[in-house]
Structure 1
Amino acid sequence: ILDELGYEKMDVDTANLFFNLIAKRYEKSSTLITTNLTFSKWPEVFGDPVLTNALLDRLLHHSQVLNINGPSYRLKDQLQLMTDDD
């Protein structure tokens, strides 16, 4: 499980290491990734569009993508408190 992918940009070495991890797991193990970014933003995280395309090719092959939209579960109580004060 990789949570919050894209929270920070990766340098070249880290991006290559991540690609190697995914490539070794490709068609051998399941990988669950969470992110707030659309796939179009991933090249900004990895800093290399070619590497990003190869990475997405491996990740999306045989995958199920769940796009979850809605309010933040973590913020719901805080937002309710803020609206109660009005």
Structure 2
Amino acid sequence: MADKLRTQQELERLQAKYVGTGHPDTTSWEWRTNISRDTYSSIVGHPPHLAYISLAQNEPAAKVRAQLIRKMVQPCGPPPPREGEEPIAQHRSG
């Protein structure tokens, strides 16, 4: 029983330290968002990987880098409405 408690405490400590590891209340949208942001930041942070992606897309590396950074804002779209909340209306400008 002590091993199970120690394992649970270690898991909770890691989840508090590293946001991307999730917790029991993590939604699938939050999980996907964390994974996408981690992926984009890894590509931007590793020049050879960024060069590979830019070559594959036939775009300048600076442009691909800027696109990936912009995607980090909402990589999986807007968050879904929470229980008991009204969906936020999307306003169109123009």
- Structure number with the higher helix fraction is 2
Common fold by TM > 0.5: no
**Which structure is larger by alpha-carbon Rg, 1 or 2?**
2
Measured against the shorter chain, the TM-score band is under 0.3
Query: What TM-score do you get using the length of structure 1 for normalisation?
Result: 0.27
